[in-house]
Chains A and B, each alone.
Chain A
Amino acid sequence: MRALLLVAVLPLAASAQDDAGAEVEEVVVEAPEDEANQGYSPDESQAQDPIRFTGYLDVGFAKATGNGSSFRSNDDRVPLDYGNDAFAPAVNSRGEVASTDSTGRFTNGFLPRSVGIGSTPSLLLNTLSADVRVQPRNVPVFLFARLQLMPRLLPTGDVTRVELQQAFGRLSPFKAHEFAVFLGRFDSVFGIEYLENEANLRLGITPSLTARYTTGHGLGAKAFYRLQVASLWSAFSVNVAGTTNGTRIEALVPVSTSLTGAVVGSARLGYELNLQKVQVKLGVSGLYGPRNDVRVGTARQLAIAGDLRVNAFGFSLAGEVLRLIDERGAGALKVTGTTQAELASGFQVMGGWARLGYTLPFTSPAFTGATLYVRYDRRHGQFEGFTELQTDRLTGGVRVDLFEVLALKAEVLLNRELAGAPLVDNDVFTSSAVFTW
């Protein structure tokens, strides 16, 4: 997965990954590895030792305009987060925003996490991420855990957080087949944006406007199978998961337990064409099951998405479209990963993003890559009975990789309220230095 991401999107930046070089070579020469396999998860075949420790440090600097949130001072609608897109002023790869301060106005759990800087420019220690990988010799079992530390200060005080973001075991029972079963907490299988959840892997800095629906981690089991058709230079893959929560981020839907006792199913079917100079990847994803933000199983969530990636001659094009529907929560209280809110409303969203990147065709031992990119996001979201919000965002940025261990990124986000949402000044400049070990 990791190797392919680097090849497909950041061929030069890939060299910044401490253990990626061999994977890149393997992928290019042999068979490309589908990142849909496991998200940012390691490949035990590359393991040098039974136990390895890796990770990254993401240090950011961000400045948002306005008050750092998407909330206008004269907006007294209830809940405030239903009438505005609080996720727009993102400042880092976690999707955290500059502010969610509602100045006492009622919100109902449709909020991202915040770094609490408002419009004040500030350095941030976005994430300190530590991984441990255990590959017992001569057995087809692999263990992985990722622990992350996020120092934060909000107006309410210190809210530094430690998160066990992933922890799973993987069984690959057949040497002759690309088949693996995972159990634990792992990456989403829905769409493609989850592949860039981690700051060191993301080409840019901030996630798209629809990432909140697709990039969450799941607690449960998943299975992956891929069939290579060498004569067609192609591969077909299926990735299926049954989890407690679905694919939404933990700020919106609890991950750690099932509130309904039922399983949320999600899956992606993928096709990839791997030519010498060109790669094309297509996927269709679906999700269906009970909402895991209410304690009744009768309210359902449903989503479908399509994704596309094309890589050729230094250019990379990627995009995703999404349609998601939540049924009304039948009068149950809403539970998110951060709070217990009031009633869970019906909701629907249509959205997507497209990103074009270009990687400069030269490197040196110190300068290991540079990529320019631009991304367009669009989101039409509506809570039942509320105005539909139509927003979009234009993101432009650059990533420079140095010494194979440091990625320097800078990005500008231009958020617009097209319809429904009040005009608000919530653009962002953000930057990030990611050290990988």
Chain B
Amino acid sequence: MRPFVVVVLLASACAPPSGPLAKGWTPREFLAKRAETKPLFGGWAPSELLVVEGQPIPYSTRTQGPGEGLPVFPGVSESRAIGFVITDIWQDHPQPWIQPVWMSSSRETPATRRPGVANVFPVGLDSTFYSPWWRTEFVPIDEGEELTNSKQVIDRGAGVDGPLVMCPFTSRDSIDVAAEAGGVRHPLTLKLLNGGVKAKGYVDGVLHQYLDFGPGRAQWHDQELDAFDLFVFTKAGAALPVATVWPADPARHGFLTRVEVPVPGGAAFFVPSNRADLKKGLEGLAPDVDAALDAFPEYALRLARNPTCFTMPTFPASCDWLDTQAKVKVLPGQKRTTVQLSAAVLSEVTP
């Protein structure tokens, strides 16, 4: 018996290498691991990806209101401050799949969604082939009719093609974009932002919760998403809690590859004097600045090639900001990761 056991153990020990295993994290995993502060999820810590009621909202001095929230991260695109939420992260993962989502329409206007009727999705979070990206197919139905599963839809025949939409499943109704009472705000500028629309859709006859960020949030072709770079500044290999650098037209480029960029020597981040909380994790990289610069919150956590510009009267124009991809992508020491993410840039609420 013993020799047999030894043989079996040896055989197991000699198992061929499996290579990196694909991993994926959704708001469900964000919630489950929310107490974890290590950067487990593709370089992001679960604790910064979701907050629960009463907890501080990252990059903000405020606390989360009722329910759980996906925090608004600061970013910059073509020198413009943006706020975005991360909804899904993948590491060493195949290209996320684009599944159909069936939206009911009327027979009179077959390419227009019929309001008040739940969408039908073919899969939910439990599927290894889930992603928050869905290709709309309008299905004309009669008044009062309701479709609840994919078989019903497919059995009806072909529908009408629609746009790609971003609808991350949240696993529970209480998850939304992070917000204190009163609304979603950019954590630095405090401007009011439009969050996603909370909704429910059918998967195999059962209603599931999701956030609807609407159409046009990623580029795609031939059933595949086009990934664009998201530059994340690092120091000594660790990501810094600063503004990430997005491609142009960020609201339409929500599928991204994480590219890590070491902070160039001599560069520093701008942190207003009234936001000392933002200096945590930026020791030595965020010099003290005059309180007069507190009037420029949209520049907070932005990287300047030479921080002496922070003392010049022409601030912020005096700075050579590393806040466009054209400038950042030529910085040395970049590391392209195998991490991809889906993120939604939130538009400002227009008065």
Q: Is the CB of A343 within 8 A of B11?
A: no
B151 and A421 form a contact (CB under 8 A):
yes
Instruction: Tell whether, in the assembled complex, residue A261 and residue B130 are in contact, meaning their CB atoms are under 8 Å apart.
Output: no
Q: Which chain A residues border B13 with CB–CB below 8 Å?
A: 261
Q: Is A74 within 8 A of B159, CB to CB?
A: yes
Q: Are A343 and B129 in contact (CB under 8 A)?
A: yes
**Contact (Cβ within 8 A) B16 A295:** yes
Contact A259 B100 (CB under 8 A): no
Q: A293 CA to B120 CA in the complex, in Å?
A: 32
Query: Please, which residues of chain A bring their CB within 8 A of the CB of B98?
Result: 78
Q: Which residues of A73-112 are within 8 A (CB) of B?
A: 73-79, 82-83, 106, 108
| Residue of B whose beta carbon sits closest to that of A417 | B151
For A421, list chain B residues within 8 Å (CB). 151
Determine the residue in chain B with the shortest Cβ distance to A341.
B94
Contacts A106-B223, A263-B8 given: A422-B122 contact, CB under 8 Å? no
**Whole-angstrom distance from the CB of A256 to the nearest CB of chain B?**
14
Residue among A342, A346, A384, A387 making CB contact with B150, cutoff 8 Å: A387
Q: How far, in Å, is A81 (CB) from chain B's closest CB?
A: 11
Which of A194-202, A328-336, A372-380, A394-402 forms contacts with chain B?
A328-336
Q: Give which listed residue, A77, A296, A387, contacts B18 with CB less than 8 A.
A: A296
Measured between beta carbons, the chain B residues less than 8 angstroms from A78 are 97-99, 129, 223
Chain B residue nearest to A294 (CB atoms) is: B18
C-alpha gap A384/B123 in the complex (Å): 9
Give A78's nearest chain B residue, CB to CB.
B97
- In the docked arrangement, what's the CA distance between A380 and B123, Å? 18
Does A261 lie within 8 Å of B15, measured CB to CB?
yes
The contact string, 1 if C-beta is below 8 Å from chain A, for chain B 154-171, is 110111000000000000
User: For the complex, what is the distance from the CA of A383 to the CA of B8, rounded to whole Å?
Assistant: 31
A275 to B174 CA separation, bound complex (whole angstroms): 68
Partner-contacting stretch, out of B19-27, B108-116, B180-188, B305-313: B19-27
Tell me the nearest residue of chain A to B157, going by C-beta.
A74
Is B137 an interface position by the 8 A CB rule? yes
* B12 close to A331 (CB less than 8 A): no
Q: Give Cα distance in the complex from A73 to B14, angstroms.
A: 45
Nearest B residue to A297 by beta-carbon distance? B15
Within 8 A of A (CB), among B134-153: 135, 137, 149-151
Known: A78-B98, A262-B8. A345 touches B127 (CB 8 A): yes
Q: Is B97's CB under 8 angstroms from A261's CB?
A: no
User: A74: which B residues are within 8 A, CB to CB?
Assistant: 154, 157-159
CB of B126 within 8 A of CB of A384, answer yes
* B128 in contact (CB, < 8 A): yes
Whether the Cβ atoms of B23 and A331 lie closer than 8 Å is yes
Q: Which of A311-358 contact B (CB under 8 A)?
A: 328-333, 342-346
Chain B residues with CB under 8 A of A261: 11-16
**Cβ contact within 8 Å between B127 and A384:** yes
Q: Choose from B15, B23, B128 the contact partner of A345 (Cβ within 8 Å).
A: B128
The verdict on A123 contacting chain B, using a C-beta distance below 8 Å, is no
**For window 16-54 of chain B, which residues contact chain A by CB distance below 8 Å?**
16-19, 21-23
What total of chain B residues lie within 8 Å of the partner, measured CB to CB?
41
Tell whether, in the assembled complex, residue A387 and residue B17 are in contact, meaning their CB atoms are under 8 Å apart. no
A263-B8, A295-B17, A296-B21 known; A72 vs B126 contact (CB < 8 Å):
no
Cα A295 to Cα B129 in complex, Å, equals 19
Given contacts A77-B100, A343-B129, A384-B126, contact A422 B151 (CB under 8 A): yes
> Once bound together, how far apart are the Cα atoms of A209 and B297, in whole Å?
65
- Inside 8 A of B135's CB, which chain A residues have their CB? 76
Q: Once the chains bind, are A330 and B97 in contact (CB under 8 Å)?
A: no
Q: Which B residues between 81 and 109 are near A, CB-CB below 8 angstroms?
A: 92-94, 97-100
Minimum CB–CB distance for A426 against chain B, Å: 14
Question: Could you tell me the distance in whole angstroms from the C-beta of A241 to the nearest C-beta in chain B?
Answer: 15
Say yes or no for B117: interface residue by CB 8 A criterion: no
User: Does B125 sit at the interface, judged by CB under 8 A?
Assistant: yes
Min Cβ gap B136→A in Å is 11
Of A260, A328, A387, which one neighbours B15 at CB under 8 angstroms? A260
* A262 contacts B99, C-beta separation under 8 Å: no
Nearest opposing residue in chain A for B159, CB measure: A74
B348 within 8 A of A: no
A261-B15, A343-B22, A387-B149 known; A422 vs B127 contact (CB < 8 Å): no
Chain B CB within 8 A of A21 CB: no
Chain B CB within 8 A of A419 CB: yes
CB-nearest residue of chain B relative to A385? Answer: B127
A66 at the interface (CB under 8 A from B): no
Within the complex, which residue of B12, B100, B130, B151 is in contact with A385, where a contact is CB–CB below 8 Å?
A: B130
Asked if B204 is an interface residue, CB under 8 A from chain A, the answer is yes
CB distance from A159 to the nearest CB of B (A): 25
List A contacts of B19 (CB < 8 A).
295, 332-333
B residues neighboring A (CB under 8 Å): 8, 11-19, 21-23, 92-94, 97-100, 122-130, 135, 137, 149-151, 154-155, 157-159, 204, 223
20 A/B residue pairs, CB under 8 Å, sorted by A:
A74-B157, A76-B100, A77-B122, A77-B154, A78-B98, A82-B129, A106-B223, A259-B16, A260-B16, A295-B18, A297-B15, A331-B23, A331-B93, A333-B22, A345-B128, A383-B127, A384-B126, A385-B123, A385-B129, A422-B155
Given contacts A82-B129, A262-B11, 16 further A-B contacts (CB under 8 A): A78-B223, A106-B97, A106-B223, A108-B129, A261-B12, A261-B15, A333-B94, A344-B128, A345-B128, A345-B129, A346-B128, A385-B124, A387-B150, A419-B151, A420-B204, A422-B151
Residues of A participating in the B interface, judged by any CB pair closer than 8 Å: 72-79, 82-83, 106, 108, 258-263, 294-297, 328-333, 342-346, 383-388, 417, 419-423
Ordered nearest first, which 9 A-B pairs have the shortest CB separation?
Answer: A385-B127, A261-B15, A331-B21, A385-B126, A331-B22, A422-B154, A74-B158, A295-B18, A78-B97
